[in-house]
């Protein structure tokens, strides 16, 4: 999906032209190709849809005062967002409720009702990433006190095929959420096998690791790359 910056001749555009759909959201106008979407019924997709429906229903059941507090919080300067054109915009209270509710769901925590009071966490410092094709555990290692009882850990991981200096992604990103890891390591051997299946030494792994506070506010990611260990 591409976003659009209107000029002097066009201030807004909606609808479909030659197979391209034009619309807008809070981040600005955008365009995407039209296609008849498949009704994906994978277990993971079903879980995501169910969670979105549940969050929307819980929002409607919230006290109006709590909804108003979320809208007020969402309009604060600290919640300002920037799109890929460098333009500033704000999400609504409902959009933040869903976003942070999904973040909390990824680490098996329930959504919060009252508007957040904590600030966005600082990005974690990750020391090493090991993604293994053999008997060695796949894991990340981080500095002590990175994930205190106030912070959970999330990982987005891509597996790519290495052709010299060129790396071609071959596996879809997945999100691994873990409630506050103990010690200075988070092992994800089982999750890797379940999401990706076998990996081998000609592949590379790209991880983005974030800290997430107990309200679901997620830090900027810390990126790290590793070859697949034998």
pLDDT digits (tens, 9 = 90+) for 134-161: 889 999 999 998 999 999 999 999 888 7
In this structure, is residue 119 part of a structural domain? Answer: no
Residues 67 and 18 in one domain: no
Residues 65 and 158 in one domain: no
Token duo for residue 33: 């190709």
What is the average per-residue pLDDT within 169-180?
81
In this structure, is residue 6 part of a structural domain? Answer: yes
Residues 187 and 99 in one domain: no
Residues 73 and 157 in one domain: no
Which residues constitute the domain of residue 98?
43-105
Residues 20 and 56 in one domain: no
Domain count, the chain: 3
In this structure, is residue 91 part of a structural domain? Answer: yes
Share of the chain above pLDDT 90, in %: 48
Answer with the residue of higher pLDDT: 48 or 109.
Answer: 109
Between CA 202 and CA 162 the distance in angstroms is 6
Residues 86 and 147 in one domain: no
Could you tell me the pTM of the whole model? Answer: 0.74
Residues 23 and 53 in one domain: no
Burial of 113: CB neighbours in 10 Å, binned 0-12, 13-18, 19+: middle
Residues 152 and 185 in one domain: yes
Residues 72 and 166 in one domain: no
């Amino acid at each position: 999906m591409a976003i659009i910056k209107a000029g002097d001749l066009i201030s807004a555009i909606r609808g479909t032209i030659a197979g391209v759909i034009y619309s807008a959201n809070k981040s600005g106008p955008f365009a995407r190709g039209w296609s008849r979407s498949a009704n994906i019924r994978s277990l993971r997709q079903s879980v995501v849809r169910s969670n979105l429906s549940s969050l929307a229903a819980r929002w409607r059941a919230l006290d109006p005062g709590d909804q108003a507090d979320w809208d007020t919080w969402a309009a604060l300067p600290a919640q300002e967002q920037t799109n890929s054109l460098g333009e500033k915009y704000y999400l609504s209270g409902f959009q933040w409720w869903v976003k942070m509710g999904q973040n909390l769901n990824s680490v098996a925590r329930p959504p919060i009702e009252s508007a957040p009071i904590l600030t966005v966490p600082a990005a974690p410092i990750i020391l090493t990433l090991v993604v293994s094709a053999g008997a060695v555990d796949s894991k990340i290692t981080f500095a002590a006190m990175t994930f205190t009882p106030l912070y959970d850990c999330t990982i987005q991981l891509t597996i790519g095929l290495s052709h010299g200096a060129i790396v071609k992604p071959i596996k879809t990103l997945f999100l691994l959420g873990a409630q506050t890891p103990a010690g200075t390591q988070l092992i994800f051997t089982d999750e890797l096998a379940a999401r990706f299946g076998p990996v081998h030494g000609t592949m590379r792994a790209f991880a983005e690791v974030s800290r997430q506070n107990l309200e679901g506010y997620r830090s900027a990611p810390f990126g790290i790359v590793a070859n697949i260990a034998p």
